[in-house]
Structure formats: C-alpha cells, structure tokens
Amino acid sequence: MIKLDIVNAVVTTTNISRTKAEQAVETVFESLKSALGRGQRIELRRFGVFSVKPRKTGIGRNPRTGEEVNIPRARQCASSLVKSCRESKNPQRHKEICF
C-alpha cells in the first residue's frame, strides 16, 4: 500500500474531494514525522507504537575492502504493532482482528 491508496480509501469512505483527502493524509504524515523528529512517542490505539530510539556507536566493515568503518551514534525509528495486528497463522482471522 502506498500513500495514494490511503488517499483513495479516504475519498471513497468519506466522500470528500480528492484534494482535501490528499491534504488530510499529508497533514497526518507530516504531524507524525515532526513528532518523531522531536523524539516523541506516537501511540495509535489498536494499531501500534512508533518511537525514536538511540543507536549505539560501533565499528563496521566495508564489505568490499574489509576496512573498518566507524558507525556514528544516531537515532532511529522503532515501531511495534499491537499483538492483535501481528501476522497470525490464520490470514482470515488476522483481517477480522486487525481491520
């Protein structure tokens, strides 16, 4: 699924114009992105949690040359789906629970 699919779902579900649906979806994504940029935790009930976690410094290797490379300290986005939305062995049950 891509952003366009989400916009189309909003248009068909709410009967608003495509332009307004695009603005709404873009606003939601920008809000999520800016909150993560500030290091805030985002919790979407019945879906999952998004947060920013620190990544340790380390030493890696260039696969071509074998040369050691320093990996700088950084922040990375982490996500965790709620238990009911994780893939289950029964795909039909997964659709019923999650959506």
CA-wise closest residue to 98 among 89, 8, 44, 87: 87
| Partner residues linked to 69 by β-bridges | 60
| Residue carrying the six token digits 């114009």 | 17
Mean pLDDT rounded to a whole number for the chain: 87
Nearest to 81 by CA among 36, 34, 49: 49
Residues 44-81 have pLDDT tens digits of: 988 889 999 999 999 999 999 999 999 999 999 998 88
Buried b vs exposed e over 41-69: b needs ≥16 C-beta within 10 Å? ebeeeeeeebebeeeeeeeeeeeeeeeee
The domain locations on the chain are 1-39, 41-99
pTM above 0.85, yes or no: no
pLDDT at 86: 66
Fold classification of 41-99 is HU Protein; Chain A (4.10.520)
